[in-house]
Chains A and B, each alone.
Chain A
Amino acid sequence: MSKKTKKGSAGEPRNYETVFVVDPLIGDDVIKGIFEKVKDVVTQAGGKIERAEEWGKRKLAYPIRKKTYGYYVCIEFKAMGDAIKALTNHYHITETILRHSTLLVDSRLYEQRKLEQAPVQEKPKDELFV
């Protein structure tokens, strides 16, 4: 994996994506607030957001903190490694976030998604995540 992902030699941002799960019971307004805040953290740390989408409420495969449903949010962005530290820090501080993961997107996967995105937009959203 590491062979194909471009290593950011000084000043070269890399492709990341972050997914986090929020407790849906806290209300839509609060969730939106969290969403905007995470975006702010990324941009303030010098990241550039490419795509931000809410996957919405989904049933969890197993209960997390006694919750059976989760609200999923995904953000794809370009940034340097320092931004990731700031992001994870923010995740740890925020209590309503049940789960989070930030990954380097493999270059092969990145290109594959680019190809997929064009036709996917015509299809209904439900087909992507069931």
Chain B
Amino acid sequence: MKRSTNKKRDRKRDQKTTMGKQRNCPFCEDKLAFVDYRDTKKLGKFVSEQGRVLTRRTSGVCARHQRQLVSAIKQARHLAFLPFVADMTR
């Protein structure tokens, strides 16, 4: 019994450490100072299949860039670069 609990704890610890390492903001990596609403190709990566903005948890964007990203996506939607709601035709 003792052994198994230890293993569980160890696995959890390992997960935690790796999760911390995996996070890096794609905008920071490109050394972008500001998110551009014209760059539709890039913005499209941070939008779900339905057209909703992805959370920071899933996309790994840093807080500063997420704030810029949200307004950029909204601006892009107004100009019909991105959809407000993607049509789910099946």
Contacts and interface: CB of A to CB of B under 8 A. Distances in A.
Interface residues on B, range: 10 to 19
B80 A70 contact: yes
Contact of B34 (A60, A74, A108, A128): A108
Contacts, number: 41
B33 A111 contact: yes
B84 to A, nearest CB: 7
Contacts of A19: 79
15 contacts: A21-B79, A61-B83, A62-B80, A72-B79, A74-B38, A99-B79, A106-B34, A111-B33, A112-B33, A112-B34, A112-B36, A113-B36, A129-B40, A130-B40, A130-B41
Given A101-B78, A130-B40, 5 more contacts: A1-B71, A61-B81, A61-B83, A64-B80, A112-B34
Interface of A: 1, 19, 21, 60-62, 64, 70, 72, 74, 99, 101, 103, 106, 108-109, 111-113, 128-130
Interface of B: 32-34, 36, 38, 40-41, 71, 75, 77-84
